[in-house]
Amino acid sequence: MHSIRLARTEDAIAIADVHIASWRAGYGELIPADVLDEVLNRREMERRWNRLLVAPEPPNAQVLLICEGELVFGYSRFGSSRDMDSILDGDTGEVYGFYLHPGRWGRGLGRSLMSAVLEALADQGFRQATLNVIEANERARLFYERQGWTLNTEAVDWYGQPQVRYRIEL
């Protein structure tokens, strides 16, 4: 049975491992291998996650984990929107990242984690949320659309790939 909980600083290594595995599986066809190799340095990724867990950016950012016992299978990082138009609205949250270990894809864990993330954003007082996804990432886009997200607009390129923004009412 899985559980969902807030991340703790001691989870940095497990989050880094999920981050690396999910990026390699999800972006391997979309982002050049040399770029992935540079970005997915395990030591640097662990440091990055330790820093984000100790001093969240922005300050209201949270990280939820989906676990089975002490094993971390996925995470989502979310908080206040970073998009200028949404910042002006003042009532929009953002999902900065949403990743599951590829060995757990298709088992319903993503639905459970997304539900918890949307509930947490609503509890923070947001009335809507956005997320960005690589336009060519069909698997992720289908997942988000099945969860009720709707295509909103184009977004800035990410690692040389065009992105689109999705939006959902909370």
Straight-line distance from the first to the last Cα atom of the chain, in angstroms, rounded to the nearest whole number: 27
* Per-residue pLDDT at 88 exceeds 70: no
How many domains, in total, are found in the chain?
Answer: 1
The CATH number linked to 56 is 3.40.630.30
Domain that holds residue 109: 3-169
* Cα 95 from Cα 52, distance rounded (Å): 15
75/58 Cα distance (integer angstroms): 17
Q: Which two three-digit tokens encode residue 65?
A: 């984990």
Q: Give yes or no for residue 66 having a pLDDT over 80.
A: yes
Report the share of the chain in percent with pLDDT over 90. 76
**Mean pLDDT, residues 51-62 taken together:** 93
Separation of alpha carbons 49 and 64, rounded Å: 13
28 in the Ramachandran plot: left (φ > 0), alpha (ψ -120 to 50) or beta? alpha
Q: How far apart are CA 111 and CA 39, in angstroms?
A: 27
Give pLDDT tens digits for 23-40. Answer: 999 998 888 888 888 889
Average of pLDDT values for 38-63?
93
63: part of which helix (H) or strand (E)? strand 62-68
Average pLDDT over residues 78-105: 85
Q: What is the mean pLDDT of residues 48-57?
A: 94
Per-residue pLDDT at 3: 96
In the prediction, which pLDDT does 74 show?
98
pLDDT tens readout for residues 111-165: 999 999 999 999 999 999 999 999 999 999 999 999 999 998 877 788 888 999 9
DSSP 70: T
Tell whether omega for the bond before 58 is within 30 degrees of 0, i.e. cis: yes
pTM over 0.95: no
- What lies within 8 Å, CB to CB, of 55 at 6+ separation is none
